[in-house]
Chains A and B, each alone.
Chain A
């Protein structure tokens, strides 16, 4: 089935998912307010012009380069460090680095939601850059309180922070495992389940649903480039980003 496309060639479903993702950045999350999430968005873009980040990226080890980030001055230093490193050099962060941020007062839950925000923005900005579109202007923040729900079933054992397994879900959490899969990449941000739902709502349109899910075959048939071409692009992009996973 050929998916409907906009005049610039973008699949309509993707365009809608991108708009949902963009608006979600302005809404209260699980741990950050809408205004705070947008401050993270703004600081993420600021990282692209940060001299410290550029110097670190070019260094053999980022840990040997000291200095201060070219920051907007709104968020705490630990939050700024997290944003800038994830945006510019995520492939070289370590458990020791994260431990240092947690010791400075950044909570694990807030960190995970920040990872979701930075990653979502990075996807949207990369699509717009590739297409030759202007960067999206920040929306107005949506008022409201974060829901502040920490899954009771989250446990250490996978990555550097607690994650959920399917048998750890409770009725208070959305079942992202059934919807998106139960690979490690779906578990990675599961300390903040709403962030998993939001991220994969976008990513399953950018890329694909997991191979075992029924939507996959129709998705592959509807693309204007072949699955192998897609995997080639993916491999190169991941390699250039220094991705360990």
Chain B
């Protein structure tokens, strides 16, 4: 998976099967793009079926919530996760600037 393309929403460039459809739906939901939402939903349903759509919805739901838990409480990345992701975070130019 191309992480930079993922974070930039460039679905087709992620190298992931159905990346474009999945990221388009994710964007439409999180950004509350109601104009695009129905079409994005149907694109995922056509590509991955009802079950694929439902599991996509579940993931979006999770990451619409867990991020709030983390950010609203000021917790930091676990040491083990930080060690595993040091190269990835450098590639993405992620720095620790939370106060």
A residues with a Cβ closer than 8 A to B are: 5, 7-11, 14, 48, 86-87, 90-91, 93-96, 98, 112, 115-116, 118-120, 122-127, 129-132, 158-161, 163, 183-185, 187-189, 199, 203, 205-207, 223-226, 228-245
Number of interface residues of B (CB under 8 A): 57
- Interchain CA distance A48-B54 in the complex, whole Å: 23
| Known contacts A130-B41, A185-B70, A237-B30; A10/B59 CB under 8 A | no
How many Å from the CB of A99 to the closest CB on chain B? 11
| Known contacts A91-B71, A232-B22; A225/B56 CB under 8 A | yes
B76–A116 contact, CB under 8 A? no
How many Å from the CB of A131 to the closest CB on chain B? 5
B residues with a Cβ closer than 8 A to A are: 1, 3, 6-7, 9, 14, 16-19, 22-23, 25-27, 29-32, 37-38, 41, 48-78, 81, 97-99
User: Which residues of B sit under 8 angstroms from A229, Cβ to Cβ?
Assistant: 16-19, 22
- CB<8 Å pairs between A and B, sample of 29: A5-B50, A5-B54, A9-B51, A86-B68, A91-B67, A91-B71, A94-B99, A123-B61, A123-B65, A130-B25, A130-B53, A132-B38, A159-B73, A159-B75, A163-B73, A184-B78, A187-B75, A203-B62, A207-B58, A207-B63, A232-B19, A232-B23, A235-B7, A237-B64, A240-B30, A241-B71, A242-B71, A244-B71, A245-B70
How many Å from the CB of B40 to the closest CB on chain A? 9
User: Which residues of B sit under 8 angstroms from A9, Cβ to Cβ?
Assistant: 49-55
B64–A230 contact, CB under 8 A? no
For the A-B complex with A98-B74, A236-B23 known, give 9 more contacts whose Cβ atoms are closer than 8 Å: A9-B49, A10-B58, A160-B74, A161-B73, A161-B74, A206-B65, A207-B62, A224-B52, A232-B22
| Known contacts A5-B54, A188-B73; A203/B48 CB under 8 A | no
B75–A188 contact, CB under 8 A? yes
User: Which residues of B sit under 8 angstroms from A14, Cβ to Cβ?
Assistant: 54, 58
User: Which residues of B sit under 8 angstroms from A161, Cβ to Cβ?
Assistant: 73-74
- Interchain CA distance A242-B76 in the complex, whole Å: 15
- Interchain CA distance A8-B53 in the complex, whole Å: 9
- Interchain CA distance A33-B34 in the complex, whole Å: 34
User: Which residues of B sit under 8 angstroms from A243, Cβ to Cβ?
Assistant: 63, 67, 70-71
